[in-house]
Structure 1
Amino acid sequence: MNTREVIEVDEKTPFAGWHALVVAVANYAQVPVLPRSILNDAQDVVSTLTSAAHCGYAQQNVKLLLDTQATLDAIRQELDALAARAQPSDTVLIFFSGHGARLGDESALVPVDCDTHRVAQTTLLEQEFSTALARIKAERLVVLIDACHAGAAASFKSIGATLDLGFNEKSLNQLAQGTGRVMIASSRATEYSYALGGARNSLFTEHLLGALRGGARTQGDGLIRVFEVFNYVSERVRHAMPGQQHPIFKASDLEDNFPIALELGGVKRLDATSAVADSGKVWRQLEEILSDLYPAGPQDQELWLRAGGDISRLRLGGSGRATWFAALRTLRQGGGGAEINQNSLIDSALQDFPHHQELKNLANGS
C-alpha cells in the first residue's frame, strides 16, 4: 500500500468501518436542566462526523439520541446495536453530554428518564457501561464524556437524592480497561466543563469539533488520530480556562495512535481502509530496517533530529533494536516530537541510504 498516495473519496460511499453513538440530554424531568449548548454539541458532532467534507462516517452508522430520545432503555439498545454491528477491524466513537452522577465510588451516566428516588436503577452505572463496551468487538473504541457542566446544581441533594454530579477518574480508569479502549473526559472530577457566554458549543466540544474539522495535527496521510485530537482539545481548553478545566485521557492497553476519522478537507485523500489494515505491517518493516541501518538507535547519525523529532521525548536504553521498538511505538502514539512522522523518518533515512531498496519500497508504498 502506498502510504502517501491520494485517491478520490466518493462522498456517496463514506468509510463504512467507523460507527458512532452520540447522546445528549439538557432538558431533564427530575434533574437540573442544562444549557441549550449541550444539544448543539451533539447535533454538531453528528453533522461533522457524517460530513463528506470532514470525517466521512456513513450516515447509517451514526446514531443520535437527543433529549427525550435518550432514555435508559434507548441507550442500552443502541449500545447493543453497536455490539452487533461493529466488526473487529472497525472503529467506534461514543459521545455523551449531559449529567454524570457519583454514587459513592461508582459513577453513572444520567439518562433523560432518571428517577431521583431510584437513581441506581434508572442510570447507566459504570459497571453496566463497561460490560456493554466490552461486548463491542471493534479493536478501536473511543468514549468522550462531557458530564460536569458549569451552571448545573452542585448536587442532587437539594431534590432529595443522595449523589453528587460529575464523573470520577476512578470510573474512567475502569471504563478504559481493555485493548484499544480510550476514555476522554472534558474535565477532572473536581472541575466544571464550561461554555463561554454566547457560545454555540461547550468549550470542550467547540475544540473537539475544531480538531475533527481539520485543526488537529496529522501525519499527512488523510487520517485524524486519537492522540492528536486529545492534544488539540486539551491545549486549547486549558488555555481558555487556565487552572479551571483540564480534559483527561485514560487508556490501559493502547499500542497505537489509531485513526478515528478521515481528514478530508477536499476530495483527494488517503484510502483509510487500507491505511488502517496495513499500518502495523509498515511499522514492523520500518523497525527492522532502521535497527539494521542505525544500530545505535534513533540518535545514530542524528536521524531522529533530522526527521523533525525531539530525542529528549524518547526513553533511550538497552540495545539498538529495543530502543527502536520503543521509539517507533512512541511515534505511533503521537509522541517523539512535534514535526516527526513516519514519512519524514523514511525520507531522512533515504538521504543516508538513497539506494536502499526496502526503504524505497516503504516510501513508494510497494
Structure 2
Amino acid sequence: MKKMWIWGSVVLLIAVGFYVFLSSKKLIIDHNSQPLDVKYSDLQEINGDYNSDIFEVRLIAEVEVTSSASPNPIRIFPSVNGQLILECDAKVDDETSFDYRYYKIDRTGVVTDSIYSSYSDYQVQFIDDFMVYTSDKDGHYTTWPLNGDTTKRRLVELNTDLIWADEKVEAMTREINKSAKYWFSSSFGNDSVWYRKTYFYADGKWKLLWQKLLGYTNVSDEESGNRYRKDVFRSGEVGFEMPKDVRLLYFYPEDKMKYHHIIGGGAGGFSVYNWRGQGFFETNVAGKNFRFKVPRLVVEKEKYNGFRPSLYTVSEAGGSAEIYNPAFYHSPNGFSFYSPNSQQMFIIKMKRRQLD
C-alpha cells in the first residue's frame, strides 16, 4: 500500500510539472535572439544605483502603504524663498492614516528641513509664509515655510460666543473677502448644528470668524484654502500619452508573451500577446540629455489613438499590465524629479563638479 502511495505521488508530481511547463510555454511563445544594439547597452534604470559622471540620482521619498483614497501619496508644490515643499503620505498603519511628512527643498535641490503633521489633530493649509492648522474646535499657525519656526501662534477668534447678528457676520465676511490678504472658509456639523469658520489674515495676524448656520452648508473649492496651493508634480499619475518632454529612443523586444489588461469597474478585462522588453528613453535635465532604460516594458499602438505608443510594464508572463508614465518635473533651478510609480520619487541633479 505504501509503495502504491509513493508511485501515486510521483505520478502526480510529474503531471504537475508537465502542466506548469506547458502553461509556461503557452504564456511565452517567442524569444528574440538578436543582441541589443551596443549604443544602448550602457543605459541604466533610474534608481539608487544609477552611476554617472554627470548626474546624481537619489531616492528622495518612498511610501510603504498606499490606498485607493491616496493614489498620489507623494506631491510637490512651490513655496516661499524659491523653495519647493514635498508632501509625503506618512501612512504606515491605521493610526497614521492621512498623516503627512513635509520636506523643504531649496534652490539647489537639497532637503533643508522637515516637519510631521498628524491629520487626527489638525488639517494643514500652506499659504505662502504660513502653515495654518485648523480643526472643528480650534486652530493655530506657524511660519515654518518662511523661516523654520514651529512656534504655535494663536488665532484671534471673533464671535466665539455666537451672539453676533447674522447681518453683522455677513457684513464682516464681505469685507474679509474684499480686503483681507488671505482668507478661506470651512464648515462642520455637531449634533445636527452647522457652523461656518472664516480664516483670514489682517493687521499682521491670522484671525477666525465663527458663524452659526441655519442648516447644512458646503464650502466650494473656490472658498477653501486649497486654492492657495498648486501641485506641480505628483506620484502615481497615469496617462496613455507620453509626456512631451520625454522621447522613446528605442524598444528592444525580448519575449513575446501573454498578459492581461484589467479594466475594472465591473467591466472585466482582456488578454493579449505582445512583445515585452526594454525601453530606452531620453529627457533633458539642466540642459543636458538624460538617458535611461525601463525593463519589463510593453508598447502598444492602436488605431483609436492614431497609433501613438501606449506604455505598460508587465512583471511576469501572464500577469496584468500596469500603465507606465515616464513622468518628470523639471525645476527651473536645474534639477528634476522622476516618479516611476505611486510609491517612489527620485531627484536628479548635476554633479557638483559639472556645475563648477
TM-score by length of 1: 0.26
Rg comparison, structure with higher value: 2
If each structure's strand is expressed as a fraction of its own residues, which one has the higher value? 2
If each structure's helix is expressed as a fraction of its own residues, which one has the higher value? 1
